[in-house]
């Protein structure tokens, strides 16, 4: 056996290249380990992210004991989420109309629940968005018109206005 000058047989045996199958396997394990660390860090960053901005919330109430509507507004950037219920008790029907206005007093959105010219004789729950995403400045106020119906007579019971906080 011929040796290069300065290298002992033991040292050269130790430095012999590893088996290619072993090398690939160890690289495979390393890549899995790196992937797991990256995923763990990524998951940690996602869970540690700050909460979304909370939008102002306003409770609303309109009506009397026989017919009434109540719920809440969530004032988003330009639009408003509306949630609640309208109730007509006894022989009275009830309907609620939400009319949204911009800062200049122009109507930018409108919605009726349970629907236009429809009245509930019990409890009707709702959840929807008054969309004003394309309106500069968005919705500034909402008028809540509570309508009642007795037989063929229709009447406006209450109409409070709520303003963006």
What is d(CA 43, CA 37) in angstroms, rounded to the nearest whole number?
10
27: in domain = yes
* Structural domains counted in the chain: 2
Structure tokens at 97: 């109309």
Q: Does a structural domain hold residue 4?
A: no
Distances (CA, A) of 98 to 47, 69, 161: 38, 11, 10
Range of the domain at 32: 9-47
Would 26 be classed as within a structural domain? yes
* CATH number of the domain encompassing residue 105: 2.60.40
pTM over 0.85: no
- Statement to judge: residues 66 and 42 lie in one domain: no
Residues with Cβ within 8 Å of 37's Cβ and at least 6 positions away in sequence, in order, are none
Q: Is residue 52 part of a domain?
A: no
* Cα–Cα distance for residue pair 34/27, rounded to 1 Å: 10
Both 86 and 115 in one domain: the answer is yes
| pLDDT (tens place) for every residue of the chain, 165 residues total | 555 555 555 555 555 555 555 555 555 565 666 666 666 555 554 444 445 569 999 999 999 888 999 999 999 999 999 999 999 998 899 999 999 999 999 999 999 999 988 999 999 999 999 999 999 999 999 999 999 999 999 999 999 999 999
């Amino acid at each position: 056996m011929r040796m290069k000058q300065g290298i002992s047989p033991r040292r050269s045996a130790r430095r012999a290249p590893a088996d290619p199958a072993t090398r690939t396997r160890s690289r495979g394990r390393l890549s899995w380990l790196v992937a797991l660390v990256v995923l763990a860090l990524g998951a940690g960053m996602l869970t540690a992210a700050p909460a979304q901005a909370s939008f102002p919330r306003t409770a609303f109430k309109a009506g009397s004991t026989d017919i009434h509507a109540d719920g809440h507004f969530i004032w988003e950037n330009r639009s408003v989420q509306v949630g609640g219920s309208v109730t007509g008790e006894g022989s009275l029907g009830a309907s609620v109309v939400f009319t949204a206005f911009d800062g200049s007093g122009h109507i930018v959105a409108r919605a009726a629940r349970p629907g236009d010219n429809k009245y509930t004789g019990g409890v009707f729950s709702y959840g929807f968005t008054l969309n004003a995403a394309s309106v500069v400045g968005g919705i500034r106020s909402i008028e809540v018109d509570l309508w009642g119906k007795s037989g063929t007579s229709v009447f406006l019971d209450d109409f409070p206005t709520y303003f963006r906080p």
